Chains A and B, each alone.
Chain A
Amino acid sequence: MYVYQEHDQRLLEERVAQYRDQTRRYLAGELSEDEFLALRLQNGLYVQRYAPMMRIAVPYGLLSSAQLRRLAHITRTYDKGFCHVSTRQNIQLNWPALEDVPDILAELAEVQMHGIQTSGNCIRNTTTDELAGVNPKEIEDPRPWCEIIRQWSTFNPEFAYLPRKFKIAVNAVPDEDPAIIGVHDIGVQIVHNDAGETGFEVWAGGGLGRTPMTGAVIGEFVPWQHLLSYLEAILRVYNKYGNRDNKYKARIKILVKALGADKYRELVAEEFAELKDGPMTLTDEEVQRIKQCFTAPAYNSSADNSELEAQLADNKAFNRWYHTNTHAHKEAGYRAVTLTLKKTSRVPGDITHDQLDAVADLADQYSFGEIRNSHQQNMVLADVANSDLFTLWQKLDALGFATPNLGLLTDMVCCPGGDLCALANAKSIPIAESIQHRFSDLDYLHDLGTLDLNISGCMNACGHHHIGHIGILGVDKKGKEFYQITLGGRGDQFTRVGEKLGPSFEADEVTDVIQKIIDLYVEKRHENEPFIDTYERIGMDTFKERIYG
């Protein structure tokens, strides 16, 4: 992973000092609520329903075991002993005290972590495929480009007070979209031209929230040297012309839509013409320097898989886990392993301090000391030798992280909702829990196959409900909590926004409705046909009839 040099570390320490003084001035009454708000948000601090929430940046989801142990220590010392993996690969604390945040940031800085730009109207954490670097389908490792974007976006002086938040995602897999770049403010698709040179297809104007939409291609092939100049051009146009009067119309997606992609492209081209070949142009040395931080670890596995094969044949539970929760790897003899943070009765994505420590130990023992967060609120050990899989599985099982439900209905994505979030229309965690209980039978779950279910407590869409095959959205009707269901969203091979099923339901009806949707699917499906394909084949009306008919 990227290792800080002296200047990176200095920058972080200066940031801590700056924020410590800002907090002091706020507490002394020298900064107004509103002035402090913008400053604390850019350090990840929200003030929520019961307490502040703090978002800690995990650049493109990548963590070292030392960082994980520090997070364990922080949740133990400053919070209630657990934290939350977010859909943007970050870590969220639920109950830190505002006065403690400077100390938390100082402790984070010691392990090269921070809360910089995890919130506020600025460029947020750049995200990517959680299997980056080991995914056999990727055309190259996207992480060096993510790191290059991270440095450019960190404290970029021109883009700290944008009209609204700004999220960038990078994908290096052709024909699939594991980073859901289609619903990001900017999506960067890594491509190679005929000469084999790296470039980027750059999308802009995607986003979820209250007006979900997918982005448009703005740059078809941006040569790698010009990546930052091109991003800067897109941002500058947005900074100047994005709507600042109405925060619901302030995202770049609204501007791209209002101007039209062609006009946006033209404005970007104008800015780009000025920046291109200027000092921001990336140098080969710099790209190589960053790439050096992401070289493959010292793989050393035997070609002999007979032991693993025997274990797979002997143990049905292990076999199921292997096929559900582990992934093909670039390196022969290795697998990437997802730790599912979605056991029944566990809040999706939550993890306790002792579990964080335990995962750090497992990473050291079995995966070269690195861990990744996934946007589906799970964690990944990306470099596990086949010969270690069985032992690792047993240890994960003991921790409750081996539930073989990755990609299945109970691998739900769920926002904090009304239990914690002040913006919520409705609770989301109890809905997730009720569904988990109903669908806890593993044979049944496996029979249902791949299914993305996403829950958000309001239209801000932190739980990505629009792109769930089944989406659940909390709505408020005359002060009562209701839930609207959408079907047919996709965040898999490509992104698509789901359609509304019909009038919303009360909390205690939701699980039954999900059951009916599932029953209809089971009745109508062809052999081996996943839910989303059946839905696309038989159409929304069939589902409407069944549910409301």
Chain B
Amino acid sequence: MTGYLEGVFVLLAINIILAYGAFLPMAAGQLNLGVAGFVAMGAYIAAYLSNEYAWTPLAAALAASIATAAIAFVVAFPILRTRGIYLALATFALGQVVQATILNLNVVGGASGYPVSTFLGGGMVGAVALAVVIVVIALFHTRLGISLTAVSDDEIAADMMGLSVRWLQTVAFTLGSAVAALGGALYAHHFSFVEAQNFGIMASLYIVLYVLLGGTQTVWGPILGAAVFTLLPELLRGSASWRYVIFACLIIAVMVFRPQGVVTTGMLRRLLDVCRPRALPQGGK
């Protein structure tokens, strides 16, 4: 693989992981506009463990992911008391707090950034991304998956059916933060340098857009969204400075004509129907 292609491939792998970090809470009906804050936590905690304690990149990434999950779990309690637009604002503020804190933390370089001493190759980043995709997809085929969708569809009916809405939302938020942190840790170890400026609201918005564009209804949406966001700007490289304009117009077009995202449950079902012989109707009329 050439260096350029490998760079794009690694970005794609990391972006898919980040997309799942935003997707998990979104599947339970929560917009997390502070997701980049959790990516930053993962990146910095993992980098710190590698630099200061000579942990191997994978062990550091795993530990950072778990530590971030613990933090997310604790902040979930006040944050998830809010709803809708207020929840989005609360998570946005949380992301800002994380970013500002890192900028003021001199042990990790503050505003001048933080070099990472160990390196993780593209192959390993891809392998971890694949593992994340498999785990999340499997998870969404369990009772948890349908319960999260139930909560995002109708919280009151879900509660009446015996589901603990708060608990499910906390789980989704915590798991999503752990996944986002894992993506951040891989990023830090592959690119060998992190700076807080990269983990602001723009990063959160991009990650959330991957999911919105791909579709929040199915577990496949985030992959498509991350792929489009990573690959399309590269493909449009020819049109130089106009590529972001073209790209932005494409995003608007999707949001206008397909607000539910590109991949929807209905679309998947129709695709499956085409590939599968129609089952004979059973029972009833």
B partners with A: no
Interface positions of B (Cβ within 8 A of A) = none
Interface positions of A (Cβ within 8 A of B) = none
